[in-house]
């Protein structure tokens, strides 16, 4: 992609985030997950990205996003987790093409993920390698939001895993450790949290614990 095409793509993406709706029911959430070769933002690479759009309590499965990236970096020790092998039959695209598609998909949305900092940091590293700035979307972390649904006496973990949330909400884990499968689990859990917290605006979800107005 040449410099002008990158600029046009980024300008369109940036403009789409300037005036997001205030009401929760009108916001487009993109629930995403990444599978990676490891946890080092500089050395490791994204193997796949999966995402779903959610609006007004409905997961738009027909508008899902899933890409597998060409692997220049390979760590055999992580294959047993995500199952993605270097020379498998999965159709893969370049990191540059994946970044382009993702920026388009994220237009006008709020990002939701489980342990969002990791996924967004990995995505930002990929964007940087392809000559783009960092993502500008507002973000929400279901690990943090889950704590908002609990009373102060019920919180017994510093870190609630996605497996824990799936078991807590009775969500099937049949596609666990695939990017799109984990995005779906996260989306279902997020809907359950919205149903319990009943926020009216994005700011309600972003308020610190104890200021939410639910006695938490």
Domains, in order of start, for the chain: 27-206 (3.30.420.10)
Residue 98, pLDDT score:
98
Residue 211, pLDDT score:
38
* Range 181-201 average pLDDT: 97
Residue 116, pLDDT score:
97
* Range 79-105 average pLDDT: 78
Cross-strand partners of 46: 36
Q: What is the DSSP letter of 132?
A: -
Q: Comparing C-alpha atoms, which of 97, 152, 83 is closest to residue 129?
A: 97
Instruction: Report the predicted TM-score, pTM, of the whole model to 2 decimal places.
Output: 0.88
Q: Give 103 or 83, the one with higher predicted confidence.
A: 103
Residue 216, pLDDT score:
29
> For a pLDDT cut of 70, what percent of the chain falls above it?
88
User: Hey, is 55 helix, strand or coil?
Assistant: strand
57: pLDDT strictly greater than 50: yes
214: pLDDT strictly greater than 90: no
Helices (H), 49-130: 79-82, 95-105, 116-129
Query: How many Cβ atoms from other residues are within 10 Å of residue 40's Cβ?
Result: 12
* Range 203-207 average pLDDT: 91
pLDDT tens readout for residues 99-134: 999 999 999 999 999 999 999 999 999 999 999 999
76: pLDDT strictly greater than 70: no
Residue partners of 91: CB distance under 8 A and separation at least 6: 68
Q: What is the DSSP letter of 203?
A: H
Q: Give 177 or 215, the one with higher predicted confidence.
A: 177
- pLDDT confidence bin for 215, thresholds 50/70/90: very low
- pLDDT confidence bin for 81, thresholds 50/70/90: very low
């Amino acid at each position: 992609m040449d410099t002008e095409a990158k600029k046009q793509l980024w300008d369109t993406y940036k403009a789409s985030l300037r005036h997001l709706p205030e009401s929760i029911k009108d916001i487009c959430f993109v629930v995403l997950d990444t599978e990676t070769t490891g946890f080092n933002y500089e050395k490791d690479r994204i193997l796949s990205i999966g995402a779903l759009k959610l609006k007004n309590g409905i997961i738009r499965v027909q508008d899902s996003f899933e890409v597998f990236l060409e692997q220049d970096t390979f760590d055999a020790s992580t294959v047993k987790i995500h199952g993605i092998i270097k020379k498998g039959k999965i159709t893969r695209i370049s990191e540059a093409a994946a970044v382009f598609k993702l920026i388009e998909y994220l237009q006008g949305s709020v990002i939701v993920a489980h342990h969002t900092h990791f996924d967004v940091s990995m995505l930002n590293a990929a964007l940087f390698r392809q000559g783009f700035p960092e993502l500008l979307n507002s973000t929400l972390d279901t690990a943090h939001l889950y704590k908002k649904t609990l009373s102060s006496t019920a919180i017994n973990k510093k870190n609630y895993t996605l497996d824990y949330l799936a078991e807590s909400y009775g969500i099937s884990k049949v596609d666990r450790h695939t990017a799109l499968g984990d995005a779906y689990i996260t989306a279902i859990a997020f809907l359950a949290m919205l149903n319990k917290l009943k926020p009216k605006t994005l700011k309600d979800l972003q308020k610190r614990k104890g200021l939410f107005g639910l006695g938490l």
